[in-house]
Amino acid sequence: MDLAYIPSPSTGVLHLGPLPLRGYAFCIIIGVFVGVWYGGKRWVARGGKVGTVADIAVWAVPFGLVGGRLYHVITDYQLYFSEGKNWVDAFKIWEGGLGIWGAIALGAVGAWIGCRRRGIPLPAYADAIAPGIVLAQAIGRWGNWFNQELYGKATDLPWALKISAGPNREAGLYHPTFLYESLWCVAVAVLVVWADRRFTLGHGRVFALYVAAYCVGRAWIEYMRVDEAHHILGLRLNVWTAVLVFLLAVAYIVISSRLRPGREEIVEPDLDAKSDTADGGSEAGSDATADGTADAEKAGAKADAKSGPDATDTGKTAVGKTGSS
């Protein structure tokens, strides 16, 4: 008899009248809001404008959702396009299935478009939102709990996850890999924030550190999973992806730190331009005032010089006339 385990929800959908509220979508939405909110706070602390992160997220989030779904469908095509499967299910994103690799890759394209429209350097924006992204992942992973998916091997540990029988799954107690990854993401967020403050990272190195740290955890968590996946040389495809992305992230940190040390001083150029304009206007006004004062003093000096002799002559004439009288 199992005395302790993590229960799974009996259903991943709650109905509010005719409106279905899906736990998976709810977790994704909450994660996005938290990521944008925290990213906005970090952006303002770096010297950016309030609302900039949200404006660019309007581009990044839809691109990320499409990229995440594309990666999942392409790498697990047998779930949708093999015999007996319905290809229409590939569009049912609310049933689960978002690949973080595709979400980050295509989301970066959307962020680049948004940054380009605002004249903002993408690396600085990526550094600001990196901890928010990984916190969004931590929250989003709980959507897998609602769908009873992404669990690991069978276990009798006290924190085992109880899975009920269903399509493509057997009832039992399994490692809660969704929980492992959620906790790992929180730890990565703490690490990234600490490293950013301690070493004053910039030029995309905060984002690269997030990617590298996440990949370390994802590799061993992926190794524990038992859901269907493609294998290369005995390892799951996502393990190889994590290894490759980790190496690329570390290489970027090393090369970037040598080519562009330090951190960006200006993250939102239009703010700096407005500041320069205001400073220039103040300086121009000061110069104009100074010039006007100088001109007035010169004019006064000329008037005094001219009126001085005339007044003396007038005084002499008056005295002469008085004496004659």
Burial letters 113-152, b for 16+ CB under 10 A, else e: ebbeeeebbbbbbbbbbbbbbbbbbbbbbbbbbbbbbbbb
- Separation of alpha carbons 248 and 35, rounded Å: 24
Q: Residue 33's pLDDT is what?
A: 97
Helix (H, G, I), strand (E, B) or coil at 225: strand
Q: Residue 54's pLDDT is what?
A: 97
Q: Residue 244's pLDDT is what?
A: 97
pTM of the model: 0.80
Q: Residue 271's pLDDT is what?
A: 54
**What is each CA distance from 306 to 273, 297, 310, in whole angstroms?**
49, 14, 7
Is residue 278 classed exposed, middle or buried when 0-12, 13-18 and 19+ CB atoms within 10 A define those classes?
A: exposed
Q: Residue 20's pLDDT is what?
A: 78
What is the maximal distance between C-alpha atoms in the chain?
139
Q: Residue 3's pLDDT is what?
A: 58
Question: Both tokens of residue 147?
Answer: 């769908």
Q: Residue 230's pLDDT is what?
A: 87
Question: Both tokens of residue 267?
Answer: 């993250």
Q: Residue 94's pLDDT is what?
A: 73
CA-nearest of 272, 277, 129, 137 to 207 is 129
Q: Residue 16's pLDDT is what?
A: 72
Q: Which residue has the tokens 């970027």?
A: 252
Average pLDDT of each block of 10 consecutive residues along the chain (325 residues)?
A: 77 76 90 97 95 96 95 89 85 83 96 95 97 97 91 93 88 95 98 96 97 96 88 92 97 96 88 46 45 49 46 41 38
- Separation of alpha carbons 136 and 29, rounded Å: 9
